[in-house]
C-alpha cells in the first residue's frame, strides 16, 4: 500500500530526475511506437501456443487409444498426403471436402506437368534426386546431361553486355534485370567454373543496372520485382565468390528495407498490401545477407517473417492470399509454399517466438505432397519448359524456373 510519505519521496525524486534532464539539456526522444502489425503478431503467437498445447493433449489421447497422433489431429497447417491418412481414420465430412480440394489441386499440377513435356520424352517425366526429394527411379546422368545442355543454351543467348534480353523471345524489356539475375543464378549453381565468364559478364551487367537509390530496375512499375531478383543473385554470388560487391549489396539491401510496406511485406509498389512471391524473394535475400554479416537491426526481416506467418494460416501460400487460405493456385501456390518453408526454416532456428512456425513449416516442406509435386514437375519438364517458353514471364515460366533453380547437384 502506498503511503503518503512514499508519495512525497517519489514525487521529490521525480522532480529531481526531471530537473537533471532539463538542466543537462538532455535530448530525450519520443517513446517508440510498436509496429502497426504488432498486436496481430501477438494474437497469432497466442493462437499457435494454444494449438501447440492442444496437440500435446491430442498426442496423449492418441497414445491412450493406441493410435498415431496424425490419425486424430485436425489438419490446420498441412497441405499434404498425411491429410488423407487422417481422413481415412476419422471420416469427417468437412475433411472429406478438403481432400477433394487437394486432389483437384494435385490433378491440376499433374496436368500442367504432362502438358509441358514434349512427346519425345514420353508420358512420364524422369524422376530426379535433389536433396530432400529422393526417389528410387533416378536417372541422374541423363538429368545432368540435360542440365548442361540447358546451361549451354542459356549462355549462348547471353547478350554482349552480360544481360539476358526478354525481347528475344517476346518478353518485356522491363524485366531484363530480373532475367539477368535468374540466368546468372541458374548458371552459377550448375556451371560455376565451366561458365565463369558468363557469370562475370552477368555481374557486370547487373552492376550497370543499379540506380543511384540502390535499386536494380529499368522502370518504376517493375522496380521491386527486378530489385529482389538482382539483389539475391549478387548476394549469392558474393557468398560463393567473395567478389568485392560489398558496397553494391549494402545499397541494394538498404533499398529493400526502405521499401518494405508497413505490414512487413513487399509488393510491386511500396503501398501495395503485399505479394507473397516478392516478399519471399526479399526474405530469402535478407537471410542470405545475414550470412554475409548484415544484421536485422531494424527488424525488417522479422516483420516479414511475421507477415508470412499471418499469410500462411493454413500452411499454404499464393501470390495474393486466397480468402479461405485452404486452396492455393496449383502451380504458383505450391511452389511459393515450397520457397516459403525453405526460407522460414532457415530463419526460425534462433528465435524462440518463431520455433512453432519452424516446426510447422518443416512439416509442410517435408510432406509427401510437396515431394510428389516437385517430382512431377521434374527437372526434365522444368528444362523443357524453360527452353520452350523461356522469358515470357507469368505462371507458366515462373514455377518451372524455380523448380530448376531449386534443383542442385549434391
Partner 1 sequence: MDEDKIKSATDDEDVKLMLAVKDGDDQVFEQLVLRHQKPLLNFFCRLGVNISDAEDLAQLTFVRLYRYRATYERTAKFTTYLYLLARQVRIDEVRRQIKISKVKDAAKGVAEIFEAASNDKAPNSLQDDLQVALQSLDEPHREVVVLGMLRELPYQEVAEILKIPVGTVKSRMHHALKQLKKFLES
- Dist. CA 308–CA 77, nearest whole Å: 13
Nearer to partner 1, 35 or 322 (CB): 35
Q: Which residue has the cell 493454413?
A: 314
DSSP 182-249: HHHHHHHHH-TTTTHHHHHHHHHHHHHHB-TTS-B-SSSTTHHHHHHHHHHHHHHHHHHH--S-HHHH
- Interaction between residue 43 and partner 1 (CB under 8 A): yes
Nearer to partner 1 among residue 6 and residue 197 (C-beta):
6
Regarding 96 and contact with partner 1 (CB under 8 A), the answer is no
Q: Is 115 in the site for partner 1 (CB under 8 A)?
A: no
Residue 93 vs residues 76, 97, 182, 316: alpha-carbon distances, Å = 15, 6, 44, 22
Return d(Cα 316, Cα 4) in angstroms, integer: 59
Interface map 243-282 toward partner 1 (x if CB under 8 A): ----------------------------------------
| Interface pick for partner 1 out of 36, 49, 97, 114 (rule CB under 8 A) | 49
**Considering the rule CB under 8 A, would residue 27 count as an interface residue with partner 1?**
yes
Nearer to partner 1 by Cβ, of 95 and 355: the residue is: 355
Q: How far is the CB of 281 from partner 1 (least distance, A)?
A: 21
**How far from chain centre, in Å, is Cα 246?**
23
Q: Phi and psi dihedrals of 210, rounded to 5?
A: -75, 130
**What is the C-alpha to C-alpha distance for residues 13 and 20, in angstroms, rounded to an integer?**
10
**216 DSSP β-pair partners:** 210
Asked if residue 38 binds partner 1 (CB under 8 A), the reply is yes
Q: How far is the CB of 17 from partner 1 (least distance, A)?
A: 5
Under the binding rule (CB under 8 A), the answer on residue 36 touching partner 1 is no
353 interacts with partner 1 by CB under 8 A = yes
Using CB under 8 A, list all residues that contact partner 1. Answer: 1-2, 6-7, 9-10, 13-14, 16-17, 20-21, 23-24, 26-29, 31-35, 38-39, 41-43, 45-46, 49, 295-299, 302, 350-353
Amino acid at each position: 500500500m502506498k503511503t503518503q510519505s512514499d508519495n512525497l519521496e517519489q514525487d521529490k525524486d521525480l522532480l529531481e530526475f526531471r530537473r537533471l534532464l532539463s538542466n543537462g539539456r538532455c535530448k530525450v526522444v519520443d517513446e517508440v511506437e510498436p509496429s502497426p502489425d504488432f498486436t496481430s503478431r501477438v494474437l497469432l503467437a497466442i493462437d499457435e501456443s494454444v494449438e501447440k498445447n492442444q496437440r500435446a493433449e491430442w498426442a496423449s489421447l492418441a497414445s491412450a487409444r493406441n493410435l498415431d497422433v496424425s490419425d486424430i489431429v485436425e489438419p490446420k497447417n498441412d497441405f499434404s498426403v498425411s491429410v488423407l491418412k487422417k481422413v481415412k481414420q476419422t471420416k469427417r465430412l468437412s475433411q472429406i471436402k478438403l481432400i477433394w480440394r487437394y486432389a483437384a489441386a494435385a490433378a491440376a499440377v499433374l496436368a500442367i506437368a504432362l502438358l509441358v513435356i514434349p512427346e519425345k520424352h514420353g508420358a512420364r517425366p524422369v524422376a530426379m534426386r535433389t536433396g530432400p526429394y529422393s526417389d528410387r527411379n533416378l536417372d541422374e546422368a541423363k538429368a545432368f546431361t540435360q542440365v548442361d545442355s540447358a546451361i549451354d543454351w542459356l549462355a549462348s543467348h547471353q547478350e554482349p553486355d552480360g544481360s539476358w534480353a526478354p525481347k528475344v523471345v517476346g518478353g518485356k524489356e522491363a524485366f531484363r534485370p530480373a532475367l539477368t539475375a535468374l540466368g546468372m543464378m541458374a548458371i552459377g549453381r550448375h556451371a560455376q567454373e565451366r561458365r565463369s565468364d558468363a557469370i562475370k559478364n552477368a555481374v557486370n551487367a547487373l552492376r550497370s543496372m543499379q540506380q543511384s537509390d540502390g535499386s536494380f530496375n529499368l522502370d518504376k512499375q517493375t522496380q521491386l520485382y527486378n530489385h529482389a531478383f538482382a539483389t539475391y543473385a549478387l548476394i549469392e554470388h558474393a557468398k560463393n565468390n567473395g567478389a568485392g560487391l560489398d558496397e553494391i549489396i549494402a545499397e541494394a539491401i538498404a533499398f529493400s528495407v526502405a521499401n518494405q510496406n508497413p505490414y512487413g511485406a513487399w509488393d510491386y509498389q511500396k503501398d501495395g498490401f503485399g505479394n507473397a512471391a516478392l516478399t519471399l524473394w526479399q526474405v530469402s535475400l535478407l537471410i542470405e545477407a545475414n550470412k554475409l554479416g548484415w544484421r536485422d537491426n531494424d527488424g525488417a526481416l522479422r516483420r516479414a517473417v511475421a507477415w508470412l506467418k499471418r499469410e500462411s494460416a493454413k500452411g499454404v501460400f499464393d501470390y495474393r492470399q486466397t480468402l479461405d487460405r485452404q486452396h492455393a493456385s496449383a502451380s504458383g501456390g505450391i511452389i511459393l509454399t515450397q520457397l516459403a518453408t525453405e526460407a522460414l526454416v532457415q530463419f526460425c532456428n534462433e528465435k524462440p517466438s518463431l520455433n512453432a512456425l519452424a516446426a510447422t513449416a518443416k512439416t509442410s516442406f517435408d510432406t509427401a505432397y510437396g515431394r510428389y509435386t516437385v517430382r512431377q514437375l521434374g527437372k526434365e519438364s522444368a528444362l523443357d519448359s524453360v527452353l520452350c517458353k523461356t522469358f515470357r514471364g507469368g505462371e507458366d515460366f515462373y514455377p518451372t524456373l524455380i523448380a530448376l533453380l531449386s534443383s542442385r547437384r549434391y
